[in-house]
Copies of this chain bind each other. A is one copy, B any other.
Amino acid sequence: MTEKPLILVTNDDGITAPGIRALIKVMNTIGDVVVVAPDSPQSAMGHAITINSTLYCSPITIDDNEQIEYTCSGTPADCVKLAVNEILNRPPDICVSGINHGSNSSINVIYSGTMSAAVEAGIEGIPAIGFSLLDYNWEADFESTKSFVKTITENVLENGLPNGVVLNVNFPKLKADEIKGVKVCRQARAHWVEEFDKRTNPQGRSYYWLTGQFVNEDHGEDTDEWALANGYVSVVPVQFDLTAHHAIQQLNTWKLNE
């Protein structure tokens, strides 16, 4: 590549989160960086978009590095739509989202704002990666992720991605020299068992907090959960054609037209 690549950076924890600041630093070593990210945390927003309210988006300076930055009132998917259609003069060569404070492995991909930004970019035909670290702490140490973030991003820039595919990358909470390497995986079949914490507000009305336990019943060694539990960075290729092609033949045996 002779010209520097144009890199769109976003996230779901908000533009001031340490995770996106770490991601911007790495991207500045690879290309020209434009950041369009939410002005406040948007975790667990799934693939929400803003159609019934107004969207604000303004330039902002957070540090004295070379990237250009915009802060946006919308969701991660809104940020990508705004960046591609209003802010950038040409489609970015890649969109990177994160680094998320907390896991987006396994079924969490469904609820993830980080991954919704990557998926939205993929829908727009832009190679995209979501990065997440298995540490919810705001003070999480992103140092060990940096060389992997760089390698994976450069591989995507060099090789492109198959049509309709984006990457979901998760990092174990380990020091750099404890990480064994990178594994390409499938999404583990796991789910959350919800526990609602029921309380009463000062006016006497009941309300709930959603909490839960992550349960992995999938013991395959080709899954992201296995890789992460065994010291590897997991890379899952994610698609947004949700068709369960294997089920079509079976459904065609049903009596739907009688």
Majority-rule SS of A interface residues: mixed
A248 with B242, Cβ < 8 A, contacts A194-B85, A209-B54 known: no
Asked if B162 and A49 make an inter-chain contact with CB atoms under 8 angstroms apart, the answer reads no
A45 with B43, Cβ < 8 A, contacts A110-B240, A181-B257 known: no
Q: How many residues of A contact B (CB 8 A)?
A: 81
Asked if A151 and B86 make an inter-chain contact with CB atoms under 8 angstroms apart, the answer reads no
Q: Which of A190-208 contact B (CB under 8 A)?
A: 191, 194-196, 198, 201, 205-208
Asked if B49 and A251 make an inter-chain contact with CB atoms under 8 angstroms apart, the answer reads no
Asked if B54 and A43 make an inter-chain contact with CB atoms under 8 angstroms apart, the answer reads no
- Return the contact of A208 from the options B86, B205, B245 (Cβ within 8 A): B86
> Which B residues are CB-close (under 8 A) to A244?
162, 164-165, 237-239
**Does A34 lie at the interface of the complex (its beta carbon under 8 Å from any beta carbon of B)?**
no
Asked if A164 and B182 make an inter-chain contact with CB atoms under 8 angstroms apart, the answer reads no
Asked if B237 and A247 make an inter-chain contact with CB atoms under 8 angstroms apart, the answer reads yes
**Does A134 lie at the interface of the complex (its beta carbon under 8 Å from any beta carbon of B)?**
no
User: Which of A3-11, A23-31, A75-83, A138-146 is found at the contact surface with chain B?
Assistant: A75-83
- Return the contact of A210 from the options B50, B161, B189, B210 (Cβ within 8 A): B50
- Would you give the 0/1 interface string for A37-63, flagging 1 where the beta carbon is closer than 8 Å to chain B? 000010111111111101111100000
Asked if A155 and B255 make an inter-chain contact with CB atoms under 8 angstroms apart, the answer reads yes
CA distance A258 to B150 in the complex (A): 12
Which residue among A194, A238, A243, A254 has the maximum number of chain B CB atoms within 10 Å of its CB? A243
- Could you show 28 A-B contacts with beta carbons less than 8 Å apart? A43-B52, A44-B48, A44-B49, A44-B51, A45-B48, A46-B47, A46-B116, A49-B111, A55-B196, A55-B209, A55-B210, A56-B205, A56-B206, A56-B207, A58-B206, A81-B210, A85-B196, A86-B196, A124-B191, A155-B255, A162-B250, A164-B189, A182-B256, A182-B257, A185-B248, A186-B248, A235-B256, A239-B247
- 15 additional A-B residue pairs with CB within 8 Å, beyond A54-B208, A55-B210, A236-B242: A44-B50, A44-B51, A45-B46, A50-B210, A54-B209, A85-B194, A86-B196, A86-B208, A151-B255, A161-B247, A168-B242, A186-B248, A237-B243, A237-B244, A237-B247
